[in-house]
Structure 1
Amino acid sequence: MRGRPDIPSVFAALEGPPAPRASGSSRRRRINNDKAAGPVALVFRGMPLPVITPRTAGSAGIRRTYGHRIDWEAPVTGG
């Protein structure tokens, strides 16, 4: 909450609606928390990861979630 003049304005901004990139991840989190893998499923889940991970590392979903960068040297604008 860089650029806010005081702490109450920071809390007011945090209580507002989430950023567009955050709203999609909260929806996915609700869906995925309803699933619980057992011990056998955990073993099979990890087996294809070395093959799948290099192919999906540059996907649009990954870039949308982790590609956001903040220019800390840029002046703060807007509310």
Structure 2
Amino acid sequence: MGYFSSLYASELPHRAVAVYMYLHDRADKGGKCYPAIGTIATELKLSRSTVKRAIVDLEKMGHLRKENRWRENGGKSSNMYYVKL
């Protein structure tokens, strides 16, 4: 069986599988990465809304955990994603 077998066998829509693979590819050894939603959307050629829905799908299924990140001045930064490896 391949590395993503359980992901393929799950009930996830194809958008979620694509976003998971993107995040997995960019995650460090601990499974952390923080690309912006716009970057993910551009590189996967998906809309920002589709990426957001995919992230919600992945969170619900337990494949991903999302955490807000903040700048020192209080502004919002990109999210930190923890990919379940």
TM-score by length of 2: 0.27
The one of the two structures with greater contact order (alpha-carbon pairs below 8 A, sep at least 6) is 1
TM-score by length of 1: 0.28
User: Between Structure 1 and Structure 2, which shows a larger proportion of strand residues?
Assistant: 2
Q: Max radius of gyration: which structure?
A: 1
